[in-house]
Every structure is written in structure tokens, then in C-alpha cells.
Amino acid sequence: MEPIDLEPKYSTSQIPGKCLKCLAEQQLDSCLRQLLIEQGDSKQLQERYASILSFLKSPESKKLRDEAERYLAEGKDVKVKISSQGDEIKYWIEVTEPQIQKEEMR
């Protein structure tokens, strides 16, 4: 299964943002709707749903949420990835400098 990317953002006066938990819940709801439409026939959607649900229930999700908030407060871009390999589900965080700052440096 392709990794699931969740990219939390802070809200500003011009851009609405979403926290990591809200993004995961939104993805879970979307996945559930698709499963209901397809009557649960998609193995890939079932794996995606199980992976997101596992993340939300995991004690590690709280740690990743706190870490993501800290990086966002520092002005960095954050991406949390959820990946499933068989029965093993992994979560990790990727942090990058904002693209705007990179372009201003040129």
C-alpha cells in the first residue's frame, strides 16, 4: 500500500489549517464513505481504513501530534506518513523547511 500522507498546517488569516488528528479523522471518514459506496469490496480501501484507524488509536499518534505541533510552531513544514506492510503499520514524521523561505534565499 502507498503511504498515506497527512500534512497538518496552522491556520492563518488567509489560509485555514488543520491539526494532525483532524486530518486523520477526515481521511478516515472519506475512506469509510468510499467503502460504503463500494460495499466493502476494495481490499486497498480496507487496508487504508485499518491503517488510519490504527494510527488514531495508537499511543504513538499523540507523540507525533505533539512533535508536529512543535515543528509547525518553529515554522517548518510537517508531513506524517502512515504505511502498511502486511500486518505491520508504521508511522513517521518528515520535517522540511518551508518552500517560501527556500525561494526567498535564491
CA distance 34 to 50: 14
Amino acid, single-letter form, for residue 45: L
CA distance 77 to 99: 8
Q: What average pLDDT score do residues 89-101 get?
A: 85
Q: What average pLDDT score do residues 79-91 get?
A: 90
CA-wise closest residue to 78 among 93, 100, 99, 62: 93
Q: What average pLDDT score do residues 71-82 get?
A: 92
Q: Provide the number of structural domains found in the chain.
A: 1
Q: Which residue range(s) make up the domain with 25?
A: 4-105
Q: What is the pLDDT of residues 19-73, one digit of tens each?
A: 899 999 999 999 999 999 888 788 899 999 999 999 999 999 999 999 999 999 8
Query: Does residue 12 or residue 44 have the better pLDDT?
Result: 44
Q: Which residues contact 86 (CB under 8 A, 6 or more apart)?
A: none
